[in-house]
Amino acid sequence: MTTAPACRLYEIFTTLAHFCREPEYEAAMIVLTPQPTLGTARTSHRRATPDTGSGSPTATEMHDRTRRIRFTLLRRRLDGQIAAEAPLPDSVDIRRRCAELTARGSRLALAVALVNILDAADERRTNPASALILDHEAVLRERDQIEELIGRLRGGEAVSPRGVALVRLLVRDSRGPLYHHRNDNTLHDALAKIARAL
């Protein structure tokens, strides 16, 4: 069985996958869940697919997977463009993505993810032997800033697409300062940048 913090982090990406409809979070559920110890059964988080009898995906399933991957890659590229400080090109894709980022559902999904990250950091502190991948010390040091960010995302005031894009990039970057100590890119700096952009 996985540890409680691992289940908490799995819950973070389950929430994001549900609200944002992005398969990248399903992959993160598997990547960030610790491996089981000897004598325990591994819990599968893979999406259930219809049994075709042959064991191979159908043409329809392959088309759906390809479409979802392309859609996810497009969103990643757009998020990167929106998060950058350079002027945005005027395109239908950019305008649509900005509207998606600032929509209520997207904001609430990110707020829930941050709440779960705080809870996971608390659990990680009480269990130093946990295999959970999370820089809990950095998260706990920045608790006030994270809680303020949660309030902004939950609140009724308008937020900028760039600020929300930066939050999304922070949460989903498994090599970023939420999950690993970085001297060149601290969590404090990332949160300060988000606060300025929002």
How much is the pLDDT for 106?
94
Residues of the chain with pLDDT under 50: 1-6, 15, 17-52
CB of 177 closer than 8 Å to CB of 190: yes
At residue 120's C-alpha, the angle toward residues 119 and 126, to 5°, is: 95
Q: How far apart are the first and last CA of the chain?
A: 39
How much is the pLDDT for 32?
39
Backbone angles phi, psi at 41, to 5 degrees: -90, 145
In angstroms, the Cα distances linking 83 to 79, 97, 99, 110 are 6, 12, 14, 15
How much is the pLDDT for 40?
38
Residue 64 CA, distance from chain mean position: 22
Q: Give the tens place of pLDDT for each residue, 6-64.
A: 455 555 555 454 444 444 443 333 333 343 333 333 333 333 344 445 567 787 877 67
Separation between Cα atoms, residue 48 and residue 50, nearest integer Å: 7
